[in-house]
Structure 1
Amino acid sequence: MLALLAIAVLLKAAWFSRLGLGQDRELVDFDAFYIVAKLVWHGTVEQAYQFAKLIVIQREASGGHDSFMPWTYPPQFSLLLAPFALIPVGIAYLLFTASTLALYLAVLRRIAGSRFVLVLIILFPTIGITLACGQNSFLTAALIGLVCLFFEERPAVAGVALGLMIIKPHLAIAFAVYAILRRSWVVVFTAGAVVLASSVICTALFGVQIWTALLQSVRDSSAFLEQGYYPLYRMISIYAALRTAGLSASGSFVGQVAVAVLALGVVLIAVYRKMPVRESLGLTAIVSVCISPYAYDYDFLIFGIGLALLLPALLANAREWERGIIYILPIPIGALGYMRATQMAASHKDPQWLDVLSIGGFAILPLIALIVGILLLRSSSSETIQSVPAQGPLARI
């Protein structure tokens, strides 16, 4: 499986380089990353947040294709991407994807221990999505994994990792709440310091106006989301699920708020019941993808971190058929996302049957509900964890 991933990265790097493949193609996520990295060096990164200008830049880069990818990332991510503009796009993709994939796999292996292969099989299609579009979810999922690994023993390291999640802050909300509820002030203040320091650096490099541009792009993208301009069928939020099922934007948003409250309620209950840290962190990880309406199929890798943490407890408490559902259901979620991602990368054909419903949005809720029910409604004690050896820093919590 690791060999297949290595081959896939190399082939995709050739695709980005247009070496016999991808000669006439739509832009995908890493193309957008590369464009913004170039804007950083040109001193015009604020244009990335001005959609009227960005759409022209992307159309020129794609050779006339009309697809458009709005830019709503905080300037910290733009700064992180800047060095990749100094090398050709294919090599940039290779370095970015290979390094973040290696980091994610290393963190996942540290958490999963002897069950690494099982988790890798479950997540394999979702890994394929990220490789197909060159997204940053290997990096964000690895950062969440580092928060979990070092939360107890090295809270400063966990705080740095949590602070670096400023590149996708909506996926870190549950962990910020968890750290506050646990009164882990080293984690909280270190994360805040990282956010503050990086914001000061970005302000010094890009100017104060970069924040005004960011806020405007967030407002514009919110309007786009409400009007259904985003590929909702690739999202895994309840908002996307309800919206693609025909519910109004306001009704779908109410559903999203309800699910977000329930997700944060799970974090609160896990802390209040003083569950073993491995279990409470795992629950926080799996519900973290339910908070925001803006969660894509590739963000499901964070769920994999939570699943790896929870496997010992699930093996001890879940029935065989329940474990079967937990192992199997993530695979079609990732597989459908992979097919959609590759289709979008190949051309801009009219939507097909799989481009209608947010299947992942409908599937992820019962999956998470099943896991939460097993761990919260059945007895869960420290003896559960002690009965199954763990590895790494989590071995002692």
Structure 2
Amino acid sequence: MKARRRTDVHRACTLMRTGIGARAGGNGEAPVHWLDARRLRLYPLAALTCYVILAIGWIVRRAVLHQPDVPPFALDFLPFWSASYLGLHGHALDAYDVIKLTRVETLVEPYMRDLNGIMPWLYPPTMLLLVLPLAWLPYWMAYGVFAIGALLLFVRVVRKIAPWPQAILPILGFPGVALVLVAGQAACLTAGLAGLSLWLLRRHAAWAGVCAGLLFVKPHLAILFPLAFLCCRAWRALAACLATVLTTWLLSLAAFGPDTVLAFVHGVQVAQGTVAEGQAHLFRMPSLFIMARMLHAPISVAYVLHAMGALSAVAVVANAWRKPCAYPLRAAALITASLLISPYLYDYDMVWLGLVIAWLCVHGVTHGWHVGEREWLVLLWLTPLLGLVVVDAVGFQFLPLVTLTTLAGIHRKIRCETRALPTQPIGEATS
């Protein structure tokens, strides 16, 4: 099994040297697709150059011109550090008190006084346990350690999935990564855990389960992983996942007390009501529920539409992980479907699309491409940027349609493969 994987990787690397679009023609030659190695370098380099220019402009406006309307960098990191500070000083429950949390946030960043809104802590106590060491460091040093560590994890995992020299620039230039770093969010960490879990599943099932269990610090993104393990009969991974979830919850209860759980649930309910009533930045929430609300659909209709999409995503994952098909398609289906489950997804979570792109590239290079598939991967690569720039301008949240279309395409490829492959066991040894 390991020898076969090494052969597949070697073959994929050989094909990538001739460009991602290599495809056998009728005369035995391999005409190169327009998305060749040169463009795989050029486009990400252009994106990175734009990021540098924007960063310089931000520094000039904020540090040189002192323009008051320029927000600080990585503002979303404030609740992480402030909640960590309160937890480290024995006041974990206060992290869920908006007034007390805002006091700490304002001491750290005076810009909060001029902010038209609040920045609550909406994560479970398990996340608080994970970020608790952040307050050992000063705010900006803590952000540097947090952001760089999460970024290195994400990049390392994607490089494991797509082990080609040409992959590094598209990873670093991916707009989803830039959005996470600018926002100061934890999405690179969650994406790294999700990707690492799937990469480890065929190698060390128990550690794959541990990574999936840690991913439950954001439960709405992790909920499909145990389903996938169950469907492919990966019992060690499933047991390790459940054990990790149970252990982290017990540790957080012991550290912070049961009242933090009640406070977390209450905070989530309040946030859900705020979003449902349209009192949040809806253009930054790429879910079917928000798409319907931005089209002025009633709340009940929006929830029904979202439930239909979520159930379809669950069905695709169950089908992919029960039947024999290429593992990259299984992984891509699980990651894509995870972005369709929660009505309260945010645009920085679209960094998960980097994992989808990597898995689909692996499948395309080793199994061949259909017309338009590589162009769709370019669209996925641009999706976080399009969501940030275009959605607010047009007043329509179209990103869920991109996610749904991607999942439908993956499902179609899985159906084609399952029809062609003989029936075989798909337990831990081949999952």
TM-score strictly above 0.5: yes
User: What is aligned with 2:221?
Assistant: 171
User: What is aligned with 1:374?
Assistant: 413
User: What is aligned with 1:346?
Assistant: none
User: What is aligned with 2:184?
Assistant: 134
Q: Percent identity among equivalent residues?
A: 28
User: What is aligned with 2:315?
Assistant: 265
Deviation of the 1:80 alpha carbon: 2.0
1:353 counterpart = 2:400: no
1:150 counterpart = 2:200: yes
User: What is aligned with 1:321?
Assistant: 372
Query: Which one has more relative contact order, counting CA pairs under 8 Å at least 6 apart?
Result: 1
Structure 2 SS opposite 1:152? coil
Deviation of the 1:86 alpha carbon: 2.4
User: What is aligned with 1:347?
Assistant: none
Q: Amino acid of the residue matched to residue 362 of structure 1? A: L
Whole-angstrom CA distance in 1 between matches of 2:63 and 2:142: 15
Whole-angstrom CA distance in 1 between matches of 2:179 and 2:214: 23
The 5-angstrom pairing of residues 272-287 of structure 1 reads 272-287=322-337
Contact 1:49 1:217 in 2 (8 A): yes
Deviation of the 1:120 alpha carbon: 2.4
How many residue pairs match? The answer is 369
Q: Amino acid of the residue matched to residue 320 of structure 1? A: V
String of CA shifts for 1:335-388, please: whole Å, max 9, x gaps.
134559xxxxxxxxxx9625x3223233322233233323324667679xxxxx
Distance change in 2, residues 1:167/1:328 (3 Å): same
Deviation of the 1:223 alpha carbon: 1.2
What is the TM-score normalised by the length of structure 2?
0.76
String of CA shifts for 1:178-219, please: whole Å, max 9, x gaps.
011122121111111111111121112111211111111122
String of CA shifts for 1:61-118, please: whole Å, max 9, x gaps.
4234232223221112112222222222222111111111011101100101227628
2:93 to 24, 30, 46: 46
Structure with larger Rg: 2
String of CA shifts for 1:272-300, please: whole Å, max 9, x gaps.
32223332122111211111112122212
Contact 1:318 1:374 in 2 (8 A): no
The 5-angstrom pairing of residues 325-344 of structure 1 reads 326-339=376-389
Contact 1:313 1:375 in 2 (8 A): no
The 5-angstrom pairing of residues 196-235 of structure 1 reads 196-235=246-285
1:102 counterpart = 2:152: yes
User: What is aligned with 1:254?
Assistant: 304
Structure 2 SS opposite 1:320? coil
Deviation of the 1:317 alpha carbon: 5.0
Q: Amino acid of the residue matched to residue 292 of structure 2? A: L
Deviation of the 1:263 alpha carbon: 0.6
Contact 1:286 1:307 in 2 (8 A): no
Distance change in 2, residues 1:150/1:381 (3 Å): farther
Whole-angstrom CA distance in 1 between matches of 2:172 and 2:294: 26
Q: Amino acid of the residue matched to residue 375 of structure 1? A: I
**RMSD over aligned Cα atoms:** 3.2
Whole-angstrom CA distance in 2 between matches of 1:304 and 1:22: 36
Distance change in 2, residues 1:157/1:22 (3 Å): farther
Residue range with higher mean Cα deviation, 61-70 or 28-37: 61-70
Q: Amino acid of the residue matched to residue 238 of structure 1? A: L
For structure 2, the residue ranges without an aligned partner over 5 or more in a row are 1-43, 423-429
Whole-angstrom CA distance in 1 between matches of 2:339 and 2:312: 12
Q: Amino acid of the residue matched to residue 397 of structure 2? A: S
Structure 2 SS opposite 1:290? coil
User: What is aligned with 1:348?
Assistant: none
Residue range with higher mean Cα deviation, 287-296 or 304-313: 304-313
String of CA shifts for 1:106-135, please: whole Å, max 9, x gaps.
110010122762882697111110011111
Deviation of the 1:307 alpha carbon: 2.7
For structure 1, the residue ranges without an aligned partner over 5 or more in a row are 341-350, 384-395
1:238 to 279, 288, 306: 288
Structure 2 SS opposite 1:229? coil
Whole-angstrom CA distance in 2 between matches of 1:380 and 1:111: 26
What is the TM-score normalised by the length of structure 1?
0.82
User: What is aligned with 1:183?
Assistant: 233
Q: Amino acid of the residue matched to residue 302 of structure 1? A: W
Contact 2:293 2:302 in 1 (8 A): yes
Whole-angstrom CA distance in 2 between matches of 1:144 and 1:92: 23
Distance change in 2, residues 1:23/1:98 (3 Å): farther
Contact 1:239 1:256 in 2 (8 A): yes
Q: Amino acid of the residue matched to residue 50 of structure 1? A: D
1:84 counterpart = 2:131: no
Distance change in 2, residues 1:153/1:381 (3 Å): farther
Deviation of the 1:4 alpha carbon: 4.7
Whole-angstrom CA distance in 1 between matches of 2:71 and 2:128: 22
Contact 2:171 2:354 in 1 (8 A): no
